[in-house]
Amino acid sequence: MEKEKLIMNRGKETKTMSFGLARMRKALAGEGFRQNFRCILIAGSTGKSQTAVFAEQLLIRAGHKVGTYISPHLEHIGERIRLNGCGISDSLYYSEMARFKKYSLTYFEKLTAAAFMYFMRKKVKWAVVEVGLGGRLDATNVLKNEISLITGICLEHTEYLGGSVPEIAREKAGIIKKGSMVIIRPGGAESDIIKKIAASKNSRVIYASPVKSFYETAFLRENYSFACAAASAAGVNFKKNYFPGYILPARFEKRKYRGIDVILDGGHTLDAWREIKSEMRKIPAPRICVFYALRDKKIEEMLSLSNGIFEKIFCSSFPHERAMSKSELKSRIGSRGVEITTSPQESLMKAAALSPKVILCFGSLLGGAYLRKKIWNAGK
């Protein structure tokens, strides 16, 4: 129970969140941090973690020693720090964090500072680092990154980043350093803002043109194209037929439940919902959705855009500081024909009882982690 409580209380990253770089710089300087590695820093609204892992794999393939920092973790805190493609142990991570207890840092800052110290000591050649939230004032932005990669941007975390895509784009473009390389997708609504900021810092914009790959979904293919652009900017000459096989859990992850195909996806934005619906249309009906949500997500808009793709939608929250009660869910969802349940497990059981062709589990990466642990990793 203590382990599960720790896993599901990851919300303290936002609960204790406080933007600014001064605390991080002071703590790292106090511990003798000197950046001795090159860095790719990744911001954006979706796909950051998988893009980071793809970039990591391409750099490793080229013979580099690579440290990777992603968030959040699904089951073990050691998932956040990867050395040459392998996560570290939880006990090692906690020992790395212990040195920062004497500093007035937020939880995420301690996680991040520990990762950077670890990379320094391990003398990695490249660090591939995922921004936590935003970019300009995120703890990761203390690094000197010669490559800034910004994935697609949509309306998310508006209470922190601003109420429009241009405002959010400006925050995320805050990771761009003078004279660096900036990778963006061609044609995005945010591209003009990013290009203007890059020009003001004498930084070169590189478009992540689509790269042909075997990946099943459009969003994984885009993640791979971003990673290829980053690896090329890093000077890596990789074989174009090399496609990393490791896909992070809860990224269109395929499972079985009582003999029924299940797709577990951690998407939680409107853009991710639109993308996942496009993929679901390729699968024959009947299709059922198990939707789980936290209070700060745009559940009303997502569920109103289901457009008859699913024969039935079950919706619940899950244990978290931003969880919603059944009554709160009912008041927000209204009369959309969605059945509210007490938990994702109940939703999944009810979905399976209808014998659909496929069940989509969607709405939150943390919710996906919870369901994974309860259903498929129970007892581990």
Q: What SS3 string covers 299-361?
A: HHHHHHCCCCCCCEEEEECCCCCCCCCHHHHHHHHCCCCCEECCCHHHHHHHHHHCCCCEEEE
The per-residue DSSP string of 144-184 comes to --SEEEE----S-SHHHH-SSHHHHHHHHGGGPPTT-EEEE
Q: How many residues in total does the chain contain?
A: 380
Closest Cα partner for 172 from 156, 180, 186, 114?
A: 156
With tokens 């700060």, the residue in question is 296
Q: How far apart are CA 33 and CA 104, in angstroms?
A: 17
Alpha helix (H) ranges present in the chain?
Answer: 2-8, 12-15, 22-30, 48-61, 90-98, 107-122, 158-161, 165-172, 191-200, 218-233, 270-280, 299-304, 326-333, 344-353, 365-371
Q: How far is CA 175 from CA 56, 124, 172, 261, in A?
A: 19, 21, 6, 40
The answer to whether 354 and 288 have CB atoms below 8 angstroms apart is yes
Q: Enumerate domains of the chain plus CATH numbers.
A: 2-233 (3.40.1190.10), 253-376 (3.90.190.20)
Residue of 232, 230, 213, 229 lying closest to 221 (CA atoms): 213
Q: Please tell me the predicted confidence (pLDDT) of residue 298.
A: 76
Cα 285–290–295 angle (5° rounding)?
Answer: 140
Rounded Cα gap, residues 275 and 252, in angstroms: 11
Burial class, 96, CB count within 10 angstroms (exposed 0-12 / middle 13-18 / buried 19+): buried
Helix or strand or coil: residue 241?
Answer: coil
Contact assessment for residue 324 and residue 295, using Cβ atoms and an 8 Å cutoff: yes
Pairing of strands 126-130, 66-69: parallel
- pLDDT for residue 6: 38
ω into 186 cis (within 30 of 0):
no
In angstroms, the CA 166 to CA 163 distance is 9
Tens place of pLDDT for every residue, the chain, 380 residues? 333 333 334 445 555 556 789 999 999 999 999 999 999 999 998 899 999 999 999 999 999 999 999 999 988 999 999 999 999 999 999 999 999 999 999 999 999 999 999 999 999 999 999 999 888 999 999 999 999 999 988 767 666 677 788 899 999 999 999 999 999 988 867 889 999 999 999 999 999 999 989 999 999 999 999 999 999 999 998 666 789 999 999 999 999 999 999 999 988 888 888 889 899 999 999 999 999 988 877 788 788 777 689 999 999 988 888 888 888 888 888 767 789 999 999 999 999 999 999 999 999 888 999 999 999 986 55
pTM: 0.90
